[in-house]
Amino acid sequence: MTPPEVEEGRDDYRDFYRGRRVMITGGAGFIGSNLARQLAILGADTLIVDSLIPEYGGNLFNLHGIEDRVRLNIADVRMQSSMEALVRDRDVIFNLAGQVSHIDSMQDPYTDLEINCRAQLSILEACRKYNRQVRVVFAGTRQVYGRPDYLPVDEKHLVRPADINGVNKAAGEYYHLLYNNVFDIRACSLRLTNVYGPRQLIKHNRQGFIGWFIRLALEGAEIQVFGDGTQLRDFVYVDDAADAFLRAGANGACDGEVLNVGGDETVSHRDLVRVLVEIAGSGSVRFVEWPADKKRIDIGSFYSDSSRFRGITGWRPRVTLEEGLRQTLAFYREHYKQYVTEEARDEVLR
Amino acid sequence: MTPPEVEEGRDDYRDFYRGRRVMITGGAGFIGSNLARQLAILGADTLIVDSLIPEYGGNLFNLHGIEDRVRLNIADVRMQSSMEALVRDRDVIFNLAGQVSHIDSMQDPYTDLEINCRAQLSILEACRKYNRQVRVVFAGTRQVYGRPDYLPVDEKHLVRPADINGVNKAAGEYYHLLYNNVFDIRACSLRLTNVYGPRQLIKHNRQGFIGWFIRLALEGAEIQVFGDGTQLRDFVYVDDAADAFLRAGANGACDGEVLNVGGDETVSHRDLVRVLVEIAGSGSVRFVEWPADKKRIDIGSFYSDSSRFRGITGWRPRVTLEEGLRQTLAFYREHYKQYVTEEARDEVLR
């Protein structure tokens, strides 16, 4: 029994999920699994869809402890027929499945296109055919902005992606808005900045620098920072990111919107690594020349203005960078072997 | 023998094409074939690539009279291996192949994605692998802007497509810019407004209203205008559009740019039809309610600011709407049977 749709205010968004039929694509991944844990606490009826592709972020250990409160369905969002079957009775879809490596997208643009572009269309088509009542919250990315014209970047900034992944994520996002506007499939996109925290993939370095830096610090290894490390970023702890999804999924005022979700603090790579090494009590830093291929898709400093999202939903990040790094390091210390395979470790430590 | 790359000024862009190895994807289509005719006059070595898909704009008659001065290769841009073979020795690629029906894109989003999104990626990948010296001029569209926030629309306006075709054209365009910036495949995009003129598809009404209105006027039929017909548009005669491509293809200052190409005059649908019926001496107008499905993807008034493109290349439209319509009507009067099949005509006149 699903409760009736509530008029959501700013404080009762958590109640909204009691018994709510929710689906999370990419639900065994980094943000998805942390969101699933929140939904388990809130008593939602949670269906996790994940492909568990080895090189991607899905990891069964991410669901450790909530196995009996969620339902896992292994499926690939590229399989249209599976999506058509899965979306049918869901009230809210948190659409987080994606190919997230910028680097991989430049090596193999077609796979990125299939997952981030075509599969998004097929999820929305499935909703149009079989579940027009649903609300979809899409995991967008600050990456669609490319190299910023001004800082902080708000939603009025032009979309001008600097890599293939950014182009395909932009298209995936546009589809969501279009289905909201034309087909009444309520949908919005959260353009996330750098999210970090427990349950992030750290077994290779192709999914963003922060998880990788955390791993290197943990292992007492040298962290290489490109250039002088003065480029700025904002960071969001994964619990805060999960909270943003919960708020958007319960709030009709987000429908049809593109909303930045970014951090409070602006931190240089240089300072990030300094703090990280300090908290970890291990690891070191070395500044190196930019590799040519990475330099070409680098976007310089970036931080975002999330005031629209805050204004609509009351969201604000609660976990400071220091506290977040502390919790993250503690998590990986405890569960290191679940995230780093022996072979991959040998590779790095060699 | 290709001439050496010239330092292009504003006036010698036409000389640039003498002996130049050019490829036009969609070269048997509306704009592509008019461009091919110009290139034939200029003495270019022109390779036309077209799929000749019956429902699309390619029409062998469009190449009538220049058959011995161009080379036609029937191929579909979705076939990666064909593209890899075809791009190899070309100096300039005018990349005009596309699925252009907004309406079809909403019925069959996947085909639109394959042609306007994935195939664009594979053309660029082919260049990256086999022809990094090439320059690509992409046929973009004003449609990526969606419903405008302000008029006239310049390139600083947000991209916010209102239909699937617009999303996929936006992605196709972003790929071009990305390959310019990251892989040194020189590329730019011309965001065209409503182009009209001889050799446009008029056998069905799913490729934009202007060709269809021209046909109805010719046939003495009733032209239905949705709403009160006060929405504004700008129009570009196809020879002016072809001239824009020639200028962009010869001008390194366009590389990496997105440039609006729009008309001088701003005309309401109502006035367009009045002028058309007057010049044709046949046809009539009736104002009807907006069909719900069309209303939802309507963008209201739109006209664009092309001053950047004019500033860079010296382009300006030379053919007035009245003169353009006159030439267009004369062309279709003479060659009506080449553009309207018996069956399709019976369908409309019934």
Q: Which residues in chain A touch residue B177, judged by CB atoms under 8 angstroms apart? A: 160
Give one word for B220, left, alpha or beta, with left for phi > 0 and alpha for psi -120 to 50.
Answer: left
**CA–CA dist B312, B317 (Å, integer):** 14
Residue B344 predicted with pLDDT over 50: yes
Kindly tell me the sign of the dihedral angle through the C-alpha atoms of B86, B137, B232, A255.
positive
CB B19 within 8 A of CB B322: no
Q: Which residues in chain B touch residue A177, judged by CB atoms under 8 angstroms apart? A: 160
Confidence grade of residue B342 (pLDDT, cut at 50, 70, 90): low
Rounded to the nearest angstrom, the minimum Cα separation between B182 and chain A is 6
Where is B310: in which H helix or E strand? helix B307-313
- The pTM score is 0.91
Residue A344 predicted with pLDDT over 90: no
Token pair in block for residue A302 = 């970036």
Please give the average per-residue pLDDT across B15-28, as a whole number.
Answer: 97
Which pLDDT value is given to residue B272? Answer: 97
Percent pLDDT > 90 in chain A is 86
CB contact under 8 A, B117 and A121: no
Task: Compute CA distances B220 → B128, B230, B284, whole Å.
Answer: 51, 23, 7
Residue B177 predicted with pLDDT over 50: yes
Rounded to the nearest angstrom, the minimum Cα separation between B153 and chain A is 14
Confidence grade of residue A102 (pLDDT, cut at 50, 70, 90): confident
**CA–CA dist B287, B226 (Å, integer):** 6
Domain B209-233+264-302+319-349 has CATH 3.40.50.620: no
Q: Which residues in chain A touch residue B159, judged by CB atoms under 8 angstroms apart? A: 158-159, 174
Residue B58 predicted with pLDDT over 70: yes
Which CATH code for domain A209-233+264-302+320-349? 3.90.25.10
Token pair in block for residue B85 = 């073979």
Q: Please tell me if residue A115 touches chain B, with a CB cutoff of 8 Å.
A: no
Q: Which CATH architecture has domain B17-196+237-261?
A: 3-Layer(aba) Sandwich (3.40)
In terms of CA atoms, which chain B residue is nearest residue A125?
B109
**CA–CA dist A53, B312 (Å, integer):** 48
Rounded to the nearest angstrom, the minimum Cα separation between A122 and chain B is 9
CB contact under 8 A, B109 and A125: yes
User: pLDDT digit string (tens) for A8-35?
Assistant: 444 589 999 999 999 999 999 999 999 9
Residue from the list A121, A162, A297 with its beta carbon closest to the beta carbon of B113: A121
The torsion angles phi and psi of B284, rounded to 5 degrees, stand at: -150, 170
Task: Compute CA distances B264 → B235, B297, B304, B315, whole Å.
Answer: 8, 25, 9, 12
User: pLDDT digit string (tens) for B237-248?
Assistant: 999 999 999 999
Query: Residue ranges of the domains in chain B?
Result: 17-196+237-261, 209-233+264-302+319-349
User: pLDDT digit string (tens) for B115-174?
Assistant: 999 999 999 999 999 999 999 999 999 999 999 999 999 999 999 999 999 999 999 999
Beta pairing class for A258-261 and A186-192: parallel
Token pair in block for residue B126 = 């082919």
Beta pairing class for A266-268 and A232-237: antiparallel
Residue A7 predicted with pLDDT over 80: no
Which pLDDT value is given to residue B347? Answer: 55
CB contact under 8 A, B175 and A167: yes
Best mutation target, B111, B178, B181, B294, to test chain A (most A CBs within 10 A): B178
More confident residue, B296 or B196: B196
Strands (E), A186-283: 186-192, 194-196, 222-226, 232-237, 258-261, 266-268
> Peptide bond preceding A152: is omega within 30 degrees of 0, i.e. cis?
yes
CB contact under 8 A, A175 and B167: yes
Q: Which residues in chain A touch residue B179, judged by CB atoms under 8 angstroms apart? A: none
Percent pLDDT > 90 in chain B is 86
Where is A126: in which H helix or E strand? helix A119-130
Residue B10 predicted with pLDDT over 70: no
Confidence grade of residue A297 (pLDDT, cut at 50, 70, 90): confident
CB B48 within 8 A of CB B71: yes
Mean pLDDT across chain B: 93
DSSP conformation class of B2: P
CA angle, corner A327, sides to A321 and A328, nearest 5? 85
CB contact under 8 A, B162 and A182: yes
Q: Which CATH architecture has domain A18-196+235-261?
A: 3-Layer(aba) Sandwich (3.40)
Q: Please tell me if residue A106 touches chain B, with a CB cutoff of 8 Å.
A: yes
User: pLDDT digit string (tens) for B192-224?
Assistant: 999 999 999 998 888 888 999 999 999 999 999
Where is A332: in which H helix or E strand? helix A321-339
Confidence grade of residue A54 (pLDDT, cut at 50, 70, 90): confident
CA A52 to mean position of chain CA atoms: 16
CA angle, corner B162, sides to A91 and B122, nearest 5? 95
CA Rg, chain B, in Å? 19
Token pair in block for residue A119 = 């599969």
The torsion angles phi and psi of A66, rounded to 5 degrees, stand at: -120, 10
Percent pLDDT > 70 in chain A is 94
Residue A1 predicted with pLDDT over 60: no
Which pLDDT value is given to residue B297? Answer: 77
Which pLDDT value is given to residue B346? Answer: 57
For A256, the 3-state DSSP assignment is coil
Q: Please tell me if residue A110 touches chain B, with a CB cutoff of 8 Å.
A: yes
Residue from the list A106, A109, A171 with its beta carbon closest to the beta carbon of B170: A171
